[in-house]
Amino acid sequence: MGRGIVRTVNGWDIDGQVQALVQKYPQLRDRVDPARVAEQQRTAVEAADSGDDFGTSAEGGRGESYVLAQQSIRTRMHGIDQLTDILTAHSRAESDIVLDLLGGDGLIDRVMSLLGKDRPLVITCDASPFMVEAAWDQGIGALRQRAEKLLFHDASVGGVLLAYGTHHIPVADRQRVADEAFRVIEPGGVFVLHDFPTGSPVDTWFSKVVDVYSATGHDHRHFDREETESYLCSAGFGDVQLLSMDDSFVVSGPTKEQAELELGRYLVNMYGLVGLVDEYGPEHGPRRAFELACDTFRYDGWEPARREVRVGYDAAQGAWTAAMPREALVGVGRKPTTTGDPA
């Protein structure tokens, strides 16, 4: 995981990132394809014109506020803990290397460290140069690559994780992403695809709140069960399973009101809700974000404790907690070990 060498790496210098990664993780040597790296380095300048929602605010992105939100490491810990367990439980690969394709500034790596997990070995990857630099600035090795154009050799890693931003991938590229995951995963390895389903409260939140109040907007289509299963099966994965997973946000504070405000502040930073702050002010903007979350995140069919935003006192922690329910859709597929093997 991302502990050890602390080194600032240029987010555009892919070759430099590879060299630093191999120094940090010697087991990556010979797994990255130099020809693919050279090709992507040559075409990197073209990507500068495509926009980056997770770049700096000066570039029209919301990267700084997103990184600020990730300082609250425990907020998404429950979901990340489950995802890494899924990767470990379903894999039959020899390698324990997993590519976190939408790794941002390395939150999954930091959560695993907090949980004391040494496996799998998660390699943070992201298409945003700013996110790659933010990861390296925290001592987490990261690689700039696009999910649909991976830089690794065929059958060179044990797994691929696509989570927390999967819906940002254009619909036209989604099958290619699954195909690329299949290419780089060794036999017996797993691909885990995580998103929040179309029509869910999370989908509503993005369309009714984030798209309205974020500087970047949010015009991205989420996944549904049939689509998720189709991508995995068409890529060639076997033993495909679709799982529902509790991926709630959980924050804490010394009082009920402060716990509520902490959740509101987290939402403002996480989604870059600058319009909400402009309209309601820096003090009342987070309160309004909390109110909108209470109105939006309501589920039917779950156990009562996870159907809506709840705030309560946690005696074990000696603090008030605010939990916002999110139900994720997780597709899991394993690469067959032999021809005709369903894995």
**Which pLDDT score is estimated for 342?**
54
Distance of CA 215 to the CA centre of its chain: 20
- Which tokens sit at 85? 């367990």
**Which pLDDT score is estimated for 6?**
41
Angle at CA 196, nearest 5°, toward 249 and 279? Answer: 60
- Separate counts of helices (H) and strands (E) for the chain: 12, 10
The helix (run of H) or strand (run of E) holding residue 283 is: helix 274-296
Return phi, psi of residue 186, to 5°.
-80, 160
For the chain, 343 residues long, give each residue's pLDDT as a single digit of tens.
Answer: 444 444 457 878 899 999 999 999 999 999 999 999 999 888 776 555 566 788 778 888 888 999 999 999 999 999 999 999 999 999 999 999 999 999 999 999 999 999 999 989 999 999 999 999 999 999 999 999 999 999 999 999 999 999 999 999 999 999 999 999 999 999 999 999 999 999 999 999 999 999 999 989 898 999 999 999 999 999 999 999 999 999 999 999 999 999 999 999 999 999 999 999 999 999 999 999 999 999 999 998 766 656 899 999 999 989 999 999 999 999 999 999 975 555 5
Taking the C-alpha atoms of residue 143 and residue 135, their distance in angstroms, rounded to an integer, is: 9
Taking the C-alpha atoms of residue 10 and residue 211, their distance in angstroms, rounded to an integer, is: 30
**Which pLDDT score is estimated for 148?**
95
- The CA distances from residue 202 to 68, 206, 268, 289, in Å, are 21, 6, 15, 14
Q: Find out whether 148 and 173 touch, Cβ atoms under 8 Å.
A: yes
- The CA distances from residue 288 to 259, 271, 318, in Å, are 14, 14, 26
Cis check: omega of the bond before 120, within 30 degrees of 0: yes
Residue 272 CB-density burial (10 A; 0-12 exposed, 13-18 middle, 19+ buried): buried
- Which tokens sit at 213? 């109040």
Neighbours of 296 (CB within 10 A): 18
- The CA distances from residue 87 to 98, 159, 240, in Å, are 8, 7, 13
Residue 30 CB-density burial (10 A; 0-12 exposed, 13-18 middle, 19+ buried): exposed
> What domains can you pick out in the chain, each with its CATH number?
15-45+78-198+221-247+329-335 (3.40.50.150)
**Which pTM was predicted?**
0.92
| Residue reference for tokens 């990664």 | 21
Q: Which residues, at least 6 apart from 71, have a Cβ–Cβ distance to it below 8 Å?
A: none
- Which tokens sit at 322? 């605010």
The alpha helices in 138-273, defined as continuous H runs, are 174-184, 201-205, 211-213, 225-235, 256-270
Which residues is 192 bridged to in the sheet?
Answer: 161, 332
**Which pLDDT score is estimated for 61?**
80
